[in-house]
């Protein structure tokens, strides 16, 4: 079964708000194996909306509208869909009671506009609105496309999808097949490289499917399997995951849409009771700020140093001036000294250092994107690694931070 999402609202077309509801709904539908092949955004315009509905029901089994259920003049979705389906609008008693109750509380007379929100399509199942007044509709149609009508305000829409639409759909879905999807996260390898490595796997797979996606400084693979139950679907995913790990396992760092490299590294540090600090030049605190995003990091992170100017490197980290004078500030030696000294100053198990050229201008005749990242790890001799990043100052700094986190991750894995 496939569905099409139609978001209604001129403010969406003008870019005054973003269609976050559509993304959320699509993700929820994917979980139960309803494919969304199209999403459309159309303004509060009766003719254009009806044209969009006509196109949608020709190519989709289910048309889901978001928005236009509110009290104002230009909220017309329910009226237009009803007309389109040759259905009447009737009052949903529960929704009306809720509006009456609120009117009583505020002592305000309720406007006809407000009552409009209690209307439902006569032969549709009502979807209660727990965060508002506009009632939603689930209109199941055996002959043509089925329809779902959802409110536009995210708080109302997301709640209605979660607690009303999804249970109703699961109940009414014809297919008994379950769909399970799992996200694998990779760092230190580009999307094109990963896809090349896994080309055979990706092209030969139909169930599970493997979908690569490039994030800021990492790549994810979404593996989606369908089977008769979760256990067998997960077995299919496990098998393909093993094959993937046997090829590019060294770049894999964790699962899940909401997981992050900093969360993975901090979790490892806490698990192994290892403390960390940093000395940052071009990243100016972004590495520390990034691990600072992870709740509970205070257990392993006492603080650290932002040493932007050479004087600060000498004063805060007690780096001999000859080091910078001899080797330059963007050098292996300076990176090693920064890490070594930061580790010693705060007496941590690990220290990471960043020195390089954030740009736009070059430094010491080295182009923007030239970055040395140093790591002092427990009793090992401190080392530094050279990177070449590009695409501007912010990308260079962000990739430096991700690469620093990845260095720590690799050392932790070696333990």
Q: Return the residues of window 130-169 that contact its own copies according to CB under 8 A.
A: 130-132, 153, 155
Of 112, 17, 127, give the one whose Cα is nearest residue 64.
Answer: 127
By C-alpha distance, which of 160, 150, 169, 222 is closest to 191? Answer: 222
23 binds its own copies (CB under 8 A): yes
Q: Helix or strand or coil: residue 117? A: coil
Question: Considering the rule CB under 8 A, would residue 195 count as an interface residue with its own copies?
Answer: yes
Among 251, 305, 337, 372, binds its own copies (CB under 8 A): 305
Q: Which residue number, 234 or 314, has a Cβ lying nearer to its own copies?
A: 314
Structure-block tokens of residue 91 = 């009052």
Range list of H helices, 93-162: 93-106, 112-116, 154-160
The conformation of residue 330, written as its DSSP 8-state character, comes to: S
- Cβ distance 7 to 39 under 8 Å? yes
**Residue the block writes with tokens 């009803």:** 82
The residue among 148 and 282 lying less far from its own copies, judged by its C-beta, is 282
- Binding to its own copies, residues 224-263 (CB under 8 A): 257
**How big is the chain by its Cα radius of gyration, in Å?**
28
Shortest CA distance to 152 belongs to which of 270, 5, 268?
5
Per CB under 8 A, the list member of 141, 177, 193, 234 interacting with its own copies is 193
CA distance 11 to 8: 9
Residue whose CB is less far from its own copies, 153 or 382: 153
> What is the three-class DSSP state of 63?
strand
**H or E stretch covering 8:** strand 2-8
**Interaction residues for its own copies, span 274-293 (CB under 8 A):** 278, 280, 282-289, 291-293
The helix (run of H) or strand (run of E) holding residue 21 is helix 20-31
Q: How far is the CB of 296 from its own copies (least distance, A)?
A: 9
Residues 318-377 that bind its own copies (CB under 8 A): 345-346, 358-361, 369
Give the residue, chosen from 67, 68, 188, 304, that forms a contact with its own copies under the rule CB under 8 A.
304
Complex with its own copies: residue 140 or 183, whichever CB lies closer: 183
Between 119 and 124, whose beta carbon lies closer to its own copies? 119
Which one of 89-97, 199-207, 225-233, 320-328 is the stretch in contact with its own copies (CB under 8 A)? 199-207
Which region, judged by CB under 8 A, interacts with its own copies, from 32-40, 80-88, 141-149, 403-411?
A: 32-40
**Minimum CB distance to its own copies smaller for 147 or for 287:** 287
- Binding of residue 36 to its own copies (CB under 8 A): yes
Least distance in Å: CB of 54 to its own copies? 11
73 vs 142, beta carbon nearer its own copies: 73
How far apart are the C-alpha atoms of 235 and 227, rounded to whole Å?
10
């Amino acid at each position: 079964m496939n569905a099409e999402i139609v978001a209604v609202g001129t403010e969406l077309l003008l870019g005054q708000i973003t269609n976050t509801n559509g993304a959320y709904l699509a993700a929820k539908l994917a979980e139960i194996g309803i494919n969304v092949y199209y999403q459309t955004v159309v303004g509060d315009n009766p003719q254009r909306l009806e044209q969009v509905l006509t196109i949608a029901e020709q190519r989709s089994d289910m048309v889901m509208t978001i928005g236009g259920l509110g009290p104002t003049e230009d909220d017309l979705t329910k009226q237009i869909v009803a007309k389109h389906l040759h259905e009447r609008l009737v009052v949903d008693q529960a929704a009306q009671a809720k509006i009456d109750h609120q009117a009583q509380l505020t002592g305000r007379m309720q406007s006809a506009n407000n009552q409009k929100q209690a209307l439902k399509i006569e032969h549709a199942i009502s979807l209660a609105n727990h965060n508002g007044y506009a009632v939603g509709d689930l209109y199941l149609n055996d002959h043509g496309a089925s329809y779902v009508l959802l409110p536009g305000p995210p708080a109302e829409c997301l709640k209605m999808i979660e607690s009303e639409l999804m249970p109703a759909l699961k109940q009414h879905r014809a297919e008994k097949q379950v769909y399970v999807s799992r996200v694998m996260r990779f760092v230190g390898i580009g999307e094109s490289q990963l896809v090349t490595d896994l080309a055979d796997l990706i092209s030969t797979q139909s169930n599970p499917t493997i979908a690569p996606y490039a994030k800021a400084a990492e790549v994810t693979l979404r593996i989606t399997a369908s089977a008769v139950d979760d256990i067998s679907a997960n077995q299919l995913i496990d098998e393909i995951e093993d094959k993937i790990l046997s090829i590019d396992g060294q770049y894999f760092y964790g699962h899940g849409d909401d997981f992050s490299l900093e969360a993975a590294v901090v979790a490892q540090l806490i698990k192994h009771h290892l403390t960390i600090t940093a000395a940052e030049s071009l990243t100016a605190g972004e590495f520390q700020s990034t691990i600072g995003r992870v709740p509970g990091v205070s257990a392993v992170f006492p603080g650290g140093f932002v040493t932007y100017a050479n004087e600060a490197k000498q004063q805060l980290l007690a780096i001999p001036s000859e080091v910078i004078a001899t080797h330059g500030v963007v050098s292996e030696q300076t990176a090693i000294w920064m890490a070594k000294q930061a580790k010693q100053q705060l007496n941590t198990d690990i220290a990471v250092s960043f020195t390089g050229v954030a740009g736009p201008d070059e430094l010491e005749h080295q182009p923007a994107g030239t970055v040395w990242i140093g790591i002092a790890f427990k009793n090992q001799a401190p080392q530094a690694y050279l990177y070449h990043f590009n695409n501007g100052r912010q990308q260079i700094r962000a990739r430096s931070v991700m690469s620093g986190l990845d260095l720590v991750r690799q050392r932790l894995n070696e333990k």
